[in-house]
Each structure stands twice: as structure tokens, then as C-alpha cells.
Amino acid sequence: MNKLRCCVIDDEPLASGLIASYILKTPFLELGGEYSSPNDATAAILGGEFDIVFLDINMPQISGVEFARIIPPSTRVIFTTAYDSYAVEGFRLNALDYLLKPVSYPEFLEAANRALQWKESTAPQPARQSAPAEDRFIIVKSEYKLIQIPVDDILYIEGLKDYVRIYTASRERPVMTLLSMKSIESKLPEPQFMRVHRSFIVNTSRISTIERNRIVFGDSYVPVSDSYRQTFNDFISARTLGETPADKTAD
């Protein structure tokens, strides 16, 4: 595995040292530099030396938000700050994540895994290059934070009255957000995402096993209800070589 080359920009030595230590203990990350100001890092970043920049926001001379505007798209930003008032602006700048100080290692690792997934997803894939930019991720509010979720990372979505749970491949726990199934379904690209039950939407590209009208995601099972079964079976049959389970049931 190629490591993600990272740098830290923070005018607080203790905060910078903490993030640097986290990078050093994470196997798929490589520390390329620590800088006390954005000006010191400009040449290296514009030269494409780093994949990820852990960037403080409140710094003298130039803020992290201002500096992020000149960072090329081949390098992604993870903001680190003691204030949560910049979260929306951070996502407008397409930041991978937004970490509040003091940053714990589990929080850091979750952001690092998201960075790794981003890097892997940038490998040449002609089918995805033509996809609209807005189809690549969604942003939801959960526990007073805005969370960016790549749509390709979503396994399935479960509806719970006024809330939905979004299950992903990279997170141990689902993201819960105050949304209706109808509203989140309208933001997801078709036919990649399909409603298979009143309470479930699945990412069809993540389906690996189907048994007894249930879709298997690891230890979890998503039912296919009668109302959606014909549409789902037609979708699967069109992509299946040989006899399908539905064909055997019909016999």
C-alpha cells in the first residue's frame, strides 16, 4: 500500500506535535513536514508534495480557511481547530473532515481512514469521471456536526420515523441524522441506489450476496418487501448470468 504523505500546519507546537505523533503511529500515513505557518508550507503544497494537509484555522497572517482556498484539488484538507463555527465553511471548501481540539486518536483515525478512501477512489475509473460532482458525496447533520459521506461508501440506509441511519463501509457505527427516507433518496444517484423496502435503501454496487429475498451486508440482512420485489428482481436478473434464485422460486 502506498502511504499518504501528510503535513501539519499549526502555530501551536503542542497541537502540531500531537497530530504529528498520530501520523507517525498510523501505518498508512507518512509525515512529510511540520510547519508553524501556511507561508512556510506553500511551496511544498503547491508543488504537489502532500496528499493530506492537517490545517489549523486560527493562525496569524493568514487563516487556515483562507489558505485552503489556494490548495490544489490533488491535495485534501483536514481542518483542526478549537472552534466549531467554521464547520460549514470547511465543507464548502471540500475539506475531508473537521477535527475539534483536543483531537483524540480514534477521531484522528476515522478522519485518516476517510482520507485513505478518498485517495483510493481517485484511481482512474472512467465510469465515475463523468458523474456529476454533487453525486459523489452527501453532507448530513449528526450530533451537532456536519458529516461528509462519499456515496460510494454507503452500504444501505435504514429509515426510523423522522430519522435515518446511514451504514457505511468505513465507519464502525451508522450515522444517524434527522431526515426522511424520501428526502435522502432524492439526493442519491440512480440506479446505484434503490429502495427495496419502505424502511431500506441499498447501494446496489455494494451488494455481494442475496439469499431468500434478503440482501446480506456482513452480519446484517436487509429485507426486500413485496412492494419493491419485482423492480429489484428485474434489476438483478438483467445483470445475472445463468439461473437466478428468483427463477428457482418461481419453479
- pLDDT, tens digit, 9 for 90 and up, residues 81-130: 887 665 545 555 668 888 999 999 999 999 999 899 888 876 554 443 43
Cα–chain-centroid distance for residue 205?
Answer: 16
Helix/strand/coil for 35: strand
Q: What is the pTM of this model?
A: 0.51
Q: Is 100 helix (H, G, I), strand (E, B) or coil?
A: strand
Dist CA 153 CA 167 (whole Å): 9
38-83 pLDDT per residue, tens: 999 999 999 999 999 999 988 888 888 889 888 888 899 999 988 7
